[in-house]
């Protein structure tokens, strides 16, 4: 069985907002970069899968943040992958801690491997390298799996045309951009001081360069709900931020 792998970060100025704390987007970006770096270390990164016309696709993500790191603060992100309990979904966990080892954040991500030729998810057992027993760690997930986000009834909508800076190596909208679009639609009052939160996000469809997306927002008590629709009015991404 494998161990947790630990990656070090620093809340450099480009990661902070006007509160001088790291943004939710920056922390989620760290989490995904850790996933990428750790997959690369284990020989199963997206660029290796690409040689077989396959790639990792993030399906769902939950993130709990008790606080957000201050500018220049150092912090660690530990990551581990649980043995598969599903044929198609790989669960990667994360734990964020400060330099004294105090945990301040937890995350759980669910990934599929997609075959570009068949446009279908691949049974994980068929993916070379995913059999290495050192890759898995039995330690349980640090937070609840991503919750379903349904029935968003937007009270506010905003349009966003997908441009160059939005797209990733696949020419699809970068996962982080959906989070940015949502935070950009939220009333700024929710962001004027850092608050503990839980984010649940579900990626349903890929969006492409030139598409005009519609970002919908609804506030329901202490939960901010979001829905992003693609150029054909199909739901591309839904999310909820519970302010704690």
Nearest to 154 by CA among 237, 227, 87, 55: 227
Among 2, 4, 5, 36, binds a second copy (CB under 8 A): 36
Nearest residue (CB) to a second copy, 141 versus 227: 227
Does 244 contact a second copy by CB under 8 A?
no
Among 42, 76, 170, 214, binds a second copy (CB under 8 A): 170
Does 23 contact a second copy by CB under 8 A?
yes
The residue count for binding a second copy (CB under 8 A) is: 30
Find the shortest distance in angstroms from Cβ 101 to a second copy: 25
Round to whole Å and give the CA distance between 171 and 141: 32
Nearest residue (CB) to a second copy, 137 versus 181: 181
Find the shortest distance in angstroms from Cβ 16 to a second copy: 7
Does 155 contact a second copy by CB under 8 A?
no
The packing angle between helices 175-185 and 24-41, to 10°, is 170
CA distances from 15 to 30, 115, 134, 143 (A): 10, 34, 33, 24
Nearest residue (CB) to a second copy, 170 versus 214: 170
DSSP the chain: ----EEEEEE--GGGB-TTSBB-HHHHHHHHHHHHHHHHHHTT--HHHHHTTTEEEEEEEEEEEESS-PBTT-EEEEEEEEPPPSSSS-EEEEEEEEETTS-EEEEEEEEEEEEETTTTEEPPGGGSTTTT-GGGB--PPPSSPPPPP------SEEEEEE--GGGB-TTSBBPHHHHHHHHHHHS-GGGGSS---EEEEEEE-S--BTT-EEEEEEEEETTEEEEEEE-TTS-EEEEEEEEE-
**Given the rule CB under 8 A, which of 13-21, 82-90, 97-105, 149-157 is the region that contacts a second copy?**
13-21
Among 87, 148, 150, 163, binds a second copy (CB under 8 A): 163
Does 131 contact a second copy by CB under 8 A?
no
Does 167 contact a second copy by CB under 8 A?
yes
Does 189 contact a second copy by CB under 8 A?
no
Site string for a second copy, 48-87 (x = CB under 8 A): -----------------------x----------------
Nearest residue (CB) to a second copy, 132 versus 168: 168
- Interacting residues with a second copy (CB under 8 A): 12-14, 16-18, 20, 23, 25, 29, 33, 36, 71, 163-165, 167-171, 176, 180, 183-186, 188, 191, 209
């Amino acid at each position: 069985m494998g161990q947790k792998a630990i990656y070090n970060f620093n809340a450099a100025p480009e990661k902070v907002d006007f509160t001088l704390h790291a943004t939710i987007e920056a922390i989620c970006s760290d989490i995904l970069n850790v996933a990428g770096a750790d997959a690369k270390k284990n020989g199963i990164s997206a660029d290796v899968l690409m040689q077989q016309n396959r790639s990792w696709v993030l399906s769902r993500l939950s993130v709990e943040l008790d606080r957000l790191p201050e500018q220049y603060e150092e912090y660690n992100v530990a990551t581990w992958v649980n043995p598969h309990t599903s044929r198609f979904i790989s669960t990667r966990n994360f734990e964020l801690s400060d330099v004294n080892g105090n945990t301040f954040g937890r995350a759980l991500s669910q990934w599929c491997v997609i075959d570009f030729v068949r446009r279908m998810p691949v049974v994980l057992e068929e993916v070379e390298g995913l059999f290495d027993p050192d890759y898995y760690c039995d330690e349980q997930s640090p937070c609840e799996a991503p919750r379903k986000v349904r029935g968003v009834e937007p009270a506010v909508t905003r349009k966003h045309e997908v441009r160059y800076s939005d797209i990733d190596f696949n020419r699809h909208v970068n996962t982080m951009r959906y989070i940015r679009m949502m935070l950009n639609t939220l009333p700024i009052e929710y962001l004027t001081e850092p608050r503990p939160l839980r984010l649940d996000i579900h990626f349903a469809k890929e969006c492409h360069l030139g598409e005009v997306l519609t970002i919908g927002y609804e506030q329901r008590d202490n939960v901010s709900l979001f829905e992003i629709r693609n150029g054909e009015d199909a739901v591309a991404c839904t999310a909820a931020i519970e302010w704690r």
